[in-house]
Amino acid sequence: MFKQQNYLALGAVVLVAVLLLSLPQRATSRLKVAVASWFLPLFGLASAGQQLPADLADNLLPRRELLKEIDQLRRDKEQLRVQALQTTAIQRENDQLRGMLDWQRQSPWRLKLAKIVTRDPANWWHTVQIDLGSRDGLTNNLPVLTSDGLVGRVSAVGIYTSQVVLVGDQNCRVSALVEDATQDMGVLSASGPLDTSLVDLNYLSSSANIKSGQNVVTSGLGGIFPRGIPIGKIVDAQEVEYGLATEARVKLNVNLGAVDVVWVMFP
């Protein structure tokens, strides 16, 4: 009798798992968001806990240091303001020239700041959750970046949080361009499960002249990432497929393991 109850429990658990896995995609993502929302109160606690040492450090910092920092920030702000003026002038000129050539005008990037709240607990995915959701206007496939370069794209959207699949995950393929004379193009894919700072650049032509240290940026192909977002630098390259193609390793500009604030780019 006791053993029968045990096997009934096993059957019930397997049944629940099978039912969940056979739900339609839409229902599963809704259910996932609902279950993940249980953790929302803890996100606040965690961020408060992370903020506490910083607040303590601020309180311990001498006033002179703070004034010095404020002075430095003011200088930086002035410098950035001048740079912004220059950028606006260049943008205007670029728009005029594009208008003369009858090219489509480039729209400026609209960005929204987001904080990374959790990382994927499973080792076989490279995803993070950010604190922006559908109520902030997020939709699937929006590019995510930092000032250093590309981070990934939005892969699932909840009301308050969204999932971002990082560069280097199998589900985040990026069409990339090597900034050399021939502008060789390839596709970024995962390098391995351990080192998140390196990714592979595949499908480069066999005649590609790839050298260590060259910059890699997004090519703009694929319809998700606009052209020109920095990705990283070439580490090394080798011929593959019996010399028919070239494959390169790229060191990402962004330290994906340490980043905690990102920008979501809106179209």
Partner 1 sequence: MNVFNTILILAAAFLAVFGEAVLGAPRNLLGAQIDLLPALMVYAALSSDMVTVSLLAVAGGLWFDSLSANPLGITIVPMMAAGFPICLRRDLILRGLPFAQLVLGAAASALVPALTLLFLLNSDRQPLIGWGTLWQLIVMAAGGAVATPFLFSLFGWCGQALGYKPRIETSFRPDREIQRGRKQHVSH
Binding site for partner 1 (CB under 8 A): 3, 5-6, 9-10, 12-14, 16-17, 19-21, 23, 28, 31-33, 35-36, 38-39, 42, 46, 117-127, 129, 155, 163, 165, 168-171, 190, 192-195, 257-258
Q: For residue 161, what are its two tokens?
A: 């949080």
Q: Compute the least distance from the CB of residue 183 to partner 1, in Å.
A: 29
| Cβ 82 to partner 1 shortest distance, Å | 38
For tokens 């193009």, name the residue.
Answer: 185
Is the CB of 166 or the CB of 177 nearer to partner 1?
Answer: 166
Closer to partner 1 at the Cβ: 128 or 177? 128
Nearer to partner 1, 60 or 122 (CB): 122
Q: Which of 249, 239, 215, 240 is nearest to 229 (CA)?
A: 215
Q: Environment class of residue 174 by beta-carbon count within 10 Å: exposed (0-12), middle (13-18) or buried (19+)?
A: buried
- Closest by CA to 160, choosing from 243, 37, 255, 13, is 37
- The identity of residue 40, as a single letter, is L
With respect to partner 1, which residue has the nearer C-beta, 192 or 267? 192
Q: Which of 132, 104, 105 is nearest to 43 (CA)?
A: 132
**3 or 63: CB nearest partner 1:** 3
CB of residue 163 vs partner 1: minimum separation in angstroms? 7
Query: Is the torsion defined by CA of 168, 234, 188, 147 positive or negative?
Result: positive
Q: Shortest Cβ distance from residue 81 to partner 1 (Å)? A: 36
- Beta carbon of residue 16, minimum distance to partner 1 (angstroms, whole number): 6
